[in-house]
Structure 1
Amino acid sequence: MGYPRKLKNCTAHVDGENYLGVVGEFEEPKLALATDDWRGGGMLGPVKIDMGLEGMQATLSMGGHEATLLRKFGTTSAEGVRVRLVGAYQADDGSAAQAVECYIGGRFSEIDLGKSKPGDNTEHKYTVPLVYYRRVVDGIEEIEIDLLAGVFRVDGIDRYAEIMDILTS
């Protein structure tokens, strides 16, 4: 019988600044292929055709007011904010903790300042549509997606390299 690795603790770095003790939670992007149904002559039913990737979005929640993050709102660059999320995952079976790092690039499209009431918890939520995503586990790159550069690498294999070679030669 096994134990699942659970997030034991985390931090976030936004444009190089560490928010240890301030970041409350983060939500990584959902990874999804964009597909379209195709049923050609002679086929018994439709099959899903790979049409690239769906858009990606991440969210960060901070424990309170962070003026430096508010100042990043409205940047004109689609990849104007760089975030490094670091998590320590561990199973309760005595095994070593596992380092999971997520590197994301995008811009804050929405900042939800929530409710503020003296004596109550305050939380600000930042929504980041992504142009870049990379997930590294114990120093090994698992996934890298760069929507602008046409990179779609999983387990060291760039699944879009052949197409990019055709486009750039």
Structure 2
Amino acid sequence: MGLPRKLKNINAYGANQSWLGVIGEFEEPKLALATDDWRGGGMIGPIKIDKGLEAQEATVTMGGHTPELIRMFGTTDVAGAPMRLVGAYQADDGSAAQAVEIYLGGRFSEIDLGKSKAGDETEHKYKCAVAYYRRVVDGVEEVEIDMIAGVFRVDGVDRYAEIMAILTS
């Protein structure tokens, strides 16, 4: 029997600075295939046909006022608000902590500044439409997705390389 690795702490980097002590929460993009149902002649039911990837979104919640991130809103660059998120995961079984790094290239599609009241908690939420995503665990790349360049690599295998080779030759 084992114990799960749980997030012990987190930091964020963006706008040329560290957000240690400011970041409250991070929601990674969902990894989802875009599919359509297909039922051809002779088939007894439909199957899901791979049509690429779904759009990705990530959300970062900061514990207070972060004007540097607000100033990134409205950038015309689809990857104009890059961020790096670093998490330390550890199981309570004496095993070593594990580094998980998330690299995002995107832009804020929504900034929720929430409610402001003197003496109360203040949270700002930044929703990012993701154009680039990379997840690295202990220095090993698990996933890299570059929507514009056509890169869809999982565990070192570029699942879209064959198609891109046809398109660029």
User: Shift of the alpha carbon at 1:17?
Assistant: 1.3
Instruction: Give 2:130's aligned residue.
Output: 130
Paired residue secondary structure (1:163): helix
Instruction: Give 2:61's aligned residue.
Output: 61
Paired residue secondary structure (1:107): strand
State how far apart, in whole Å, the 1-side matches of 2:70 and 2:49 are: 41
Gaps of 5+ in 2: none
Instruction: Give 1:86's aligned residue.
Output: 86
How do 1:14-163 and structure 2 match up within 5 A? 14-163=14-163
What does the per-residue CA deviation read over 1:59-112, in whole Å, with 9 as the maximum and x for residues that have no partner? 000011111111110001111111000000000000000000000110011100
Amino acid at match of 2:104: I
Query: With structure 2 as the length reference, what TM-score do the two structures score?
Result: 0.99
Amino acid at match of 2:151: V
Contact 2:107 2:128 in 1 (8 A): yes
Paired residue secondary structure (1:166): helix
State how far apart, in whole Å, the 2-side matches of 1:92 and 1:99 are: 15
Amino acid at match of 1:108: F
State how far apart, in whole Å, the 1-side matches of 2:39 and 2:119 are: 60
Contact 2:86 2:99 in 1 (8 A): yes
Amino acid at match of 1:89: Y
User: Shift of the alpha carbon at 1:15?
Assistant: 3.6
What does the per-residue CA deviation read over 1:12-31, in whole Å, with 9 as the maximum and x for residues that have no partner? 00143110000001000010
State how far apart, in whole Å, the 2-side matches of 1:9 and 1:67 are: 23
Task: After the TM superposition, list the runs of 4 or more consecutive aligned residues in structure 1 that deviate by more than 4 angstroms.
Answer: none
State how far apart, in whole Å, the 2-side matches of 1:15 and 1:138 are: 24
State how far apart, in whole Å, the 2-side matches of 1:166 and 1:101 are: 32
